Chain A
Amino acid sequence: MSSAIANDVPLLSVKDLVVDFKTRAGNARVLDHVSLDIKAGKILGIVGESGCGKSMTALSIMGLVPNPPGKITSGSISLNGRELTDLSEEQLCDVRGSEIGMIFQEPMTSLNPVFTVGEQIAESVRLHEKASKQAAMARAVDMLKAVDIPEPEIRARAYPHQLSGGMRQRVMIAMALACRPTLLIADEPTTALDATVQAQIFDLLQDLQRDTGTAIVLITHDMGAIAELADDVAVMYAGRIIETGSVSNVLSQPQHPYTQGLITCVPHLVPDPPIEREVLREIPGMVPALTNLGAGCAFEPRCEKAFARCKAEKPALLQISESQFGACWVLEEESA
């Protein structure tokens, strides 16, 4: 960490971000007053089921919300004190790749099949740093070495189809980090990979973060990945952050019924399984359609602790402890 100030001022600050999508079924509020901070050199995890707004948060930060039908209705996103929502497309292009890097879920579809991986890594270096072809290619080889690809000089001349899934994801990481961004957004970086390869990628991300001080937003549905990698976590449901705080607090003492459900409904691997099998705790029902959310808490229809107030009003994030916030009327009742 460079200075004490860097620890206090967040690198990225998202405030009351609202994103709407116009659909045939009506307006869908895919992000509803999302606020999050990430400090330099930290890892923030975002978890939730499909359609809860995890990836949309990432796309909003990158300025990649498809418009139309999507639109950032209100709120602010500031990176290093610079407001991103006001930038023109051209200015955003400068930010993307140089200040913010992103890695996607499916490394095969996000790499260009007709260029070598070296050329693809070099492209962003040439674009953002105006480097010569040779210098950019040399950086590409260095980056491949940094992500532990054996024989980087030879691999730089390989096409994506010649690499395994794990190698492709390493190439994606090399590409995202080539211009030394201060923020890396990793959207389900290991979902398509095997367990042992996933562990390699996690190690790599952690090493890179330690060595370069890059902050990481890690989007995942796997609470285990959050536990092992992230410093802080935000749990999303139906476009809202419903619980957030330090990983140790949220995972050991989850306060929101949805977070509790997310942790207990997964059969966790334990070294000493009980002989009698337990019935898994279910979260009944499914995620609601974003076009007809009522006035109340979006989780109310699936929540076993719901009472009258949950149907009528949306709960706001309430501070539970120094580093934990939850949005639930039950918590409000308890603290009152």
Chain B
Amino acid sequence: MAGLFFNVLIICVFLVSLSPAASAAPQKTNLSKPQSCTGCHGEFSSVLPAKHPRVAGKDISACTSCHAPDPQNKATAKPYSSKLHLSHMQPDAKLDCLACHTWKPGKAFGVKGAKKPLGTLPAEGMDQIRQIFASWASSKYLDAHHGKKNVTCSGCHDRKLPESGDTVASDRCLACHGDIEKLAKKTEPKDFPDRNPHKSHLGTIDCVVCHKTHQPSKAYCLDCHKNFNMKIRFGEGGPGAKNASGAAK
């Protein structure tokens, strides 16, 4: 399936590479499927920094004429808001990917106004991206929590589009949340120190065994130790267990 998808994740990458700039609430959100920027924002000047040159146009091609998408994640010149995806993927935004992106099923996927496509994308890949992006922007799970901190797909998955069922290597998690010894110290239960999920009789296990991202997390311990009083954040029904786990450094 990976081959089919091509590197569509670069879409996420090019946005995360850009530093935050101005943001402003849209003027109106009553359009069911607005397919242009000006449909909500009126004029581009309302969402741009004061010194930004005047921009003409209706959609994102007004931006991409100067700000080229950056598949290599190396852009430093002419950055614009990296929060574009997050704010526009909120449920009340009612925006589809194709408001800004161009796509022919099975063929090129790109950004309006950009010369080069980002890659090719089959129909099922598009469905998956819609689903995962929606979850990333507003679910009750770990993906949306990372979204709020502006960690996009590439933050965990590198630049290759992950396949459903793919896992994330623990060292990727620990790059921000490590080290594991300190984590274990934080989750040591006061009553029974040996019931520590990060230091159990199973030894070192992968983070993703318990911490799921696009679905509810679940403490693996509870599979056998059904009577343990153990909570995990971003489990079924959302957050909870506030102090149970290590936040990023």
Asked if chains A and B come from one complex, the reply is no
